[in-house]
Structure 1
Amino acid sequence: MEIRLDDKVAVVTGASKGIGRATALMLADAGARVLLTSRKADALEAAAAEIGAAVPGAEVGWVAANAGAPESPAAIVAAALDRFGALDIVVNNAATNPYFGPALDISDAQWDKTFDVNLRGAHALVREARDPLAAGGGGAVVNIASIGGLLVEPGIGIYNVTKAALMHLTRTLAQELGPTVRVNAVAPGLVRTDMARGLWEEHEAAIAPRFPLQRLGEPEDIAGAVLYLVSDLSAWVTGTTLVVDGGALLRG
């Protein structure tokens, strides 16, 4: 069965590369009109051009916005409504990890940046988008979390705290926004993205065989899960976190 999103309008944050770009491409290929957003205009313009070339006839717009800035949610929603006249899907993919080290040694500035982008920004965007999402009678939000939110790991503990909180926020918003808006999360394992490059680039040959599926994830693996969660195939799914990790959690 082919998944179609014809006449749907989607916003994808962190959409200029990696999981965000793969998700935007997959949604556009399914017929959605897509607004890309991230911090850098040149990267967004390039991503929009790539998606347009890959999906002839796709309607793709973009707006530069920092997901952690207080003014960004209103600007993003306004851009979607101005360009497409509606908003049906929000994918909160933007994330940052400015600190690696013991949890108690993180600076206040690094703490604030991590929480502003990974958690507060996602909450604020859904808050700004809730009315147009509900207006269509079948809005969908997907928050990109991480299996790190289910684990205790050295070095990225505070990042993982934000992802654990994002999964709980997902459940809270699902309860509050139903039945007109569904809210779910995807928890990726280790995916071959630029953001995670330090975790896999020099270690892939050693890491991949530990997973039951014997490989690291690709951005398209996560995009496929998002496509399912925003489609009518998941019409009775809300408040859940879909783990997409190649079986990594089975290692214990």
Structure 2
Amino acid sequence: MSAQNQEHTADTGEHGSGRVAIVTGASRGIGYGVAEALVARGVRVVITGRGEEALKEAVRRLGEDRAIGVPGKAADEAHRAAVVERTMETFGRVDYLVNNAGTNPIFGPITELDLGVARKVYETNVLSALGFAQSTWQAWQKEHGGAIVNIASVAGVSASPFIAAYGMSKAAMVNLTLQLAHEMAPKARVNSIAPAIVKTKFAAALYEDREEEAAARYPMGRLGIPADIGGAVAFLLSDAAAWITGQNLVVDGGLFLNAGV
């Protein structure tokens, strides 16, 4: 084991009580599922979200001895700086970053896509992730190592009718993962996860009132739940994935097995 990896793993085990994660967009849905999975494995978490009350409730459920919340918008540079600063002030380190915050405010054909809205989607879904990665790199990971997981989507690796702006942003997220993984190695690992439909308020329009029909497309016979993604993220951040970087893990209940059928 290299000296760098010894430093990263010596006092913490697979995750361990010594490690700290920032999880963006984590007051509910996939982000909360990720935070919950990490807390269950002994990681302390700093979670973000736009709704202050929802964020407080999420912290209460996670455990105020294990989690703190910093409200704000991911696209806001001052908010990102405040999150990293608060993390370092409170815990003195930031081993993990999970870029989950995202938006999808438009539905319709790409030929009619409002370019102004598309820019806002890109700002929130891609540039905010890059901004958080830059900040955690400078604050801790450049010197001490760590791991990042970006939450992409199957919409970023296949055609995504009527949610094209979202799909394009998630394709960019996958490529951002490759770029960061290349530049941050060997100190930090960077991977992404591409979920299919997960049962959250964010994705409700894709399955609400027709869940059985939507789930019938999946060989596993159901839609995803936040815990499915939380477990996958926890693995990619852990030492069990120490030789995995620059990968996009599709977590889709087998959906792509039906491609072309």
TM-score, normalised by the number of residues in structure 2: 0.91
| Percent of paired sites with the same residue | 40
Q: Does 1:12 align with 2:19?
A: no
Write out per-residue CA displacement over residues 163-190 of structure 1, whole angstroms, 9 at most, x where no aligned residue.
0010000001000000001000010011
Letter in 2 for 1:127: Q
CA contact (8 A) 1:184 1:241 kept: yes
Q: Name the counterpart of 1:233.
A: 240
Shift of 1:42: 0.7
> d(CA) in 1 for partners of 2:139 and 2:240?
22
User: What RMSD in Å do the two structures reach over aligned CA positions?
Assistant: 1.4
Structure 2 residue runs without a partner (length 5+): 1-12
Number of corresponding residues: 247
> d(CA) in 2 for partners of 1:153 and 1:47?
31
Of 200, 218, 235, the match for 1:211 = 218
Letter in 2 for 1:7: G
CA contact (8 A) 1:133 1:140 kept: no
Structure 1 residue runs without a partner (length 5+): none
Q: Name the counterpart of 2:6.
A: none
Q: Does 1:36 align with 2:43?
A: no
> d(CA) in 1 for partners of 2:30 and 2:235?
15
| Stretches of 4+ aligned residues off by more than 6 angstroms | none
Q: Name the counterpart of 2:182.
A: 175
Q: Name the counterpart of 2:230.
A: 223
> d(CA) in 1 for partners of 2:252 and 2:24?
21
Q: Does 1:104 align with 2:116?
A: no
Map 1:1-252; keep pairs closer than 5 Å. 3-52=14-63, 58-134=65-141, 137-252=144-259
> d(CA) in 2 for partners of 1:172 and 1:135?
15
> d(CA) in 2 for partners of 1:5 and 1:112?
39
CA contact (8 A) 2:126 2:169 kept: yes
> d(CA) in 2 for partners of 1:146 and 1:177?
23
> d(CA) in 2 for partners of 1:5 and 1:145?
26
